[in-house]
């Protein structure tokens, strides 16, 4: 699906792709998962090779900023959440003189929020290609912060579960959260290089808010630090979980050993008096049976007191 938004002074309108002019009129072309026919139209309009357009749709493309003769190309990572799985997806920005082309395979809440902006805010944003790109990158950083907040809540929940109860599903949740953080760290590190490239090389060849680009770089760096912190917390949490499982196993073995001991000594006593020797004084003793039972009960009581005193129960 391709949407073209043309800005004309204090108003904007949606126009077809064939009406877009790359030099005279400023337009934002937003291409979401275009088919072969739409890619061919984009190639004809922008002169970008179709192979480059197809490559730009790769969700695993590494973020970068490159310059070409007629356009500039930015690949950036954006966080996505599908079926409760937090991941990252690459999308491309092609910058012409007065036209911005965003090309993406997957939809995201960031672009939905951008399209849902008020008329005046959208017009002011679309009047400057540089500030449009910076605002989009800033919105993506905000989305990373939002998703990291949800991961932080999940980490705290997992910590509480570990100390309150031991479940096999906890380890799966920890690995799931760590996997999301690994994707985030990889994406944010590459995104920081892109932001640095935009700042140092004056990528747009026009005036833009240098303070904003530095704030974005600061936010990305802060996000990377947060991701590293949460990964360390999850690693420690997993180690605590494994340690607690070992302690629980030791407690179970101790209890089983104690229970086995209750059976062991009475079995020993009954085994001794069950031997078929003729010269055993207790065999013909009137109180021999009661004595043997009493000795068994006494041994169990003594062992119970010993184990209780040593916190085996």
Give the model's confidence band at 125: pLDDT under 50 very low, under 70 low, under 90 confident, else very high: low
Please report, rounded to a whole number, the percentage of residues in the chain having pLDDT higher than 90: 0
What confidence tens digit (pLDDT) does each residue in 30-61 have?
888 888 888 888 887 778 888 888 888 888 88
Q: How far apart are CA 155 and CA 181, in angstroms?
A: 11
Residue span of the structural domain in which 282 resides: 254-309
**Mean pLDDT, range 128-157, rounded to an integer:** 79
Q: Looking at the predicted structure, is the pLDDT value of residue 69 above 80?
A: no
- Tell me whether residue 113 is in a domain: yes
Residue-wise pLDDT for 214-240, tens only, equals 777 777 888 888 888 878 878 777 777
Of 117, 140, 166, which marks where a domain is finished?
Answer: 117
Whether residue 138 contacts residue 214, with contact meaning beta carbons closer than 8 Å, is answered with: no
CATH number at residue 268: 1.20.58.340
Look at the chain and report how many structural domains it folds into.
Answer: 2
> Where is the domain boundary, 117, 149, 176?
117
Q: What is the CATH number of the domain that holds 92?
A: 3.30.460.20
Instruction: Please check the confidence at residue 95 and state whether its pLDDT lies above 80.
Output: yes
Does 215 fall in a domain?
Answer: no
282 and 291 Cβ atoms separated by less than 8 Å: yes
Report whether pLDDT(203) > 60. no
Determine, yes or no, domain membership for 278. Answer: yes
**What pLDDT was estimated at residue 23?**
55
Q: Give residue 206's pLDDT.
A: 52
Q: Is residue 212 part of a domain?
A: no
Burial 169-204 (b: 16+ CB within 10 A, else e): ebbebbeebbebbebbbebbbbbbebbebbeeeebb
Domain finish residue from 117, 147, 164: 117
CA atoms within 13 A on the CB side of 66: 10
pLDDT band at 200 (very low <50, low <70, confident <90, very high): low
Write out pLDDT tens, residues 174-191. Answer: 777 777 888 788 888 888
Per DSSP, the residues of 56-112 read HT-TTPPPEEEE-SS-EEEEEEEEEEETTEEEEEEEEEEE-SSEEEEEESS--HHHH
Instruction: Enter the pTM of the model.
Output: 0.64
Q: Provide the pLDDT for residue 48.
A: 83
pLDDT given for residue 207 in this prediction: 54
Looking at the DSSP bridge assignments, the partners of residue 148 are none
């Amino acid at each position: 699906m391709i949407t073209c938004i043309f800005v004309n002074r204090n108003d904007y309108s949606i126009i077809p792709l064939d009406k877009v002019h790359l030099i005279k009129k400023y337009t934002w072309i937003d291409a979401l998962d275009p088919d072969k026919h739409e890619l061919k139209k984009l190639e004809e309009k922008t002169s970008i090779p179709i192979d480059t357009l197809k490559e730009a749709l790769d969700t695993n493309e590494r973020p970068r900023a490159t310059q070409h003769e007629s356009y500039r190309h930015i690949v950036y990572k954006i966080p996505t959440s599908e079926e409760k799985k937090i991941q990252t997806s690459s999308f491309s920005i092609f910058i012409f003189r007065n036209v911005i082309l965003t090309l993406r395979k997957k939809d995201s809440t960031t672009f939905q929020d951008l399209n849902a902006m008020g008329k005046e805010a959208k017009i002011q944003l679309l009047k400057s290609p540089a500030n449009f790109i910076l605002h989009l990158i800033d919105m993506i950083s905000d989305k990373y912060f939002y998703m990291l907040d949800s991961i932080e809540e999940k980490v705290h929940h997992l910590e509480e579960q570990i100390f309150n109860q031991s479940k096999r599903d906890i380890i799966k949740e920890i690995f799931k959260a760590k996997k999301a953080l690994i994707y985030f760290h990889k994406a944010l590190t590459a995104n920081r290089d892109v932001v640095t490239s935009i700042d140092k090389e004056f990528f747009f060849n026009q005036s833009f808010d240098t303070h904003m680009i530095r704030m974005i770089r600061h936010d990305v760096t802060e996000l990377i630090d947060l991701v590293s912190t949460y990964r360390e917390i999850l690693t420690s949490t997993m180690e605590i979980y494994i340690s607690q499982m070992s302690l629980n196993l030791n407690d179970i073995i101790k209890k089983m050993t104690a229970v086995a001991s209750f059976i062991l000594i009475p079995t020993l006593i009954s085994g001794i008096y069950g031997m078929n020797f003729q010269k055993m004084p207790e065999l013909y003793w009137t109180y021999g049976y009661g004595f043997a039972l009493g000795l068994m009960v006494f041994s169990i009581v003594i062992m119970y007191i010993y184990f209780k005193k040593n916190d085996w129960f």
